Structure 1
Amino acid sequence: MTAPAATPEERLVGLVHELAGRQEQHLGEHPGWAHQTREHLLLALGRLFTIAPRSHRPIGMPDHRCYENAALYASGTPGLMYTEGVALVNTGNGRHIHLSHAWAVRPDGTVIEPTWDEPGRAYFGLPITDPVLWPLNADGLLSAFDKPLPPLRDGLPTGALGAVGRRSVRS
């Protein structure tokens, strides 16, 4: 009997686990750090989110600017929260890749995708409550070389994460 096929969310969290394991082998440990890598931070604190129907996509946001798009859209829409992490994207022919990405979420954990025409197949990330941490005109909190060091070393500030989305069973 074959095992049931993994859901897109299970595949995405599995890819993050796999990458975290590879990084442990090649990068070594940082004693005293709250999280060894961005992937370890996601696995410890990340949440899964529900994909919104296509009709909920904002219009007019530029391509290739997901961090800024998500932060600007969330800051201009009451009730939305900037969220950063990884998304599983269908590349065609049944193949999927995971990409660093940012999006906005509603209080019920529903994704609002301001950048891509087609939403991702799964979203796993950190809902950031503090607008001071939102990258309104820059790279993401976890994507630029210098920005993730404080959250990895010291952890995120108290109260920085929102209680939206769902915890992954594998996190």
Structure 2
Amino acid sequence: MSTPADPVAQLLAGIRAQAQMWASAHAAARAGWRHASFPALLLEHGRLFTPAPRPAHLIPGAPGSCFASATRLAETHETLIYVEGMALTGSEPLGFDHAWCVDADGRVVDSTLPDGYGRAYVGVPLTDAYRRSQQAARATDAVLTVDRVGWSDNAAVLQHGLPAAAICDLGQRLPRPAGETDVCR
């Protein structure tokens, strides 16, 4: 299998492959769940975001602290929105779970990856109220996926789905593979 030259296509192919793997590996245990996995949730609710240089006035967070660092940015800069999803860098063949912020134009403000390192971003932009409630309920900085503190995805969201009021309307909708329709539930 060749790797697509387009970073967005590469990231989406990886997310689709992971969603299929999770769906087949956990078919019985997660029968009836809205999403079998975090990658499956991203395919339904995720949006594309544009990589951009980090504003010079922002101090980068430590590597591995993306959830806490993105939370800090969203709390201290009212124009930034917290996003949780997957990112692709130039050095990795697959995307990885990540958090960042975006501005009102959907430009990424990544506080932990080196400037210019992120090549593609797919994530769910979350409202401040939803982010705060989920972080408090889970006692972790991650809202939807795994971080160093909470070693499991948000099972309640995977089972029941995201409430419409949880998502900010930012970013570009994901392109659908040929032959796949965008079905609203």
Tell me the TM-score range normalised by the shorter chain. Answer: 0.7 to 0.9
For residue 154 of structure 1, what is the aligned residue in structure 2? 160
The one-letter code of the counterpart of 1:127 is P
- SS in structure 2 at match of 1:121: strand
Cα shift at 1:53:
2.2
Task: Within 5 Å, give how 1:1-171 maps onto structure 2.
Answer: 5-29=4-28, 30-55=30-55, 58-91=58-91, 96-118=93-115, 119-134=117-132, 135=135, 138-141=140-143, 142-143=145-146, 144-170=150-176
- Over 3 Å counting, the alpha-carbon distance change for 1:57 and 1:113 in structure 2 is farther
Letter in 1 for 2:154: P
Deviation for aligned residue 1:110: 0.4
Partner of 2:121: helix, strand, or coil? Answer: strand
With the length of structure 2 as denominator, give the TM-score of the two structures. 0.79
CA RMSD in angstroms, aligned pairs only: 2.3
Number of paired residues? 165
SS of the counterpart of 1:123? strand
Structure 2 portions without partners, runs of 5+: 178-185
Higher RCO structure (Cα 8 Å, ≥6 apart): 1
More divergent stretch after superposition (59-68 vs 135-144): 135-144
Question: Kindly, what percent of the aligned residue pairs are identical?
Answer: 32
Please give the alpha-carbon distance, in whole angstroms, between the structure 1 residues aligned to 2:57 and 2:49: 15
Q: Which amino acid aligns with 1:113?
A: D
Deviation of 1:124 (Å)? 0.4
> How far, CA to CA, are the matches of 1:120 and 1:51 in structure 2?
7
Q: What secondary structure, in the 3-state scheme, does the structure 1 residue paired with 2:8 have?
A: helix
Counterpart residue identity of residue 165, structure 1: G
**CA shift digits 1:37-88 (9 cap, x unpaired):** 1111000010000011244572142221000000110111021110001000
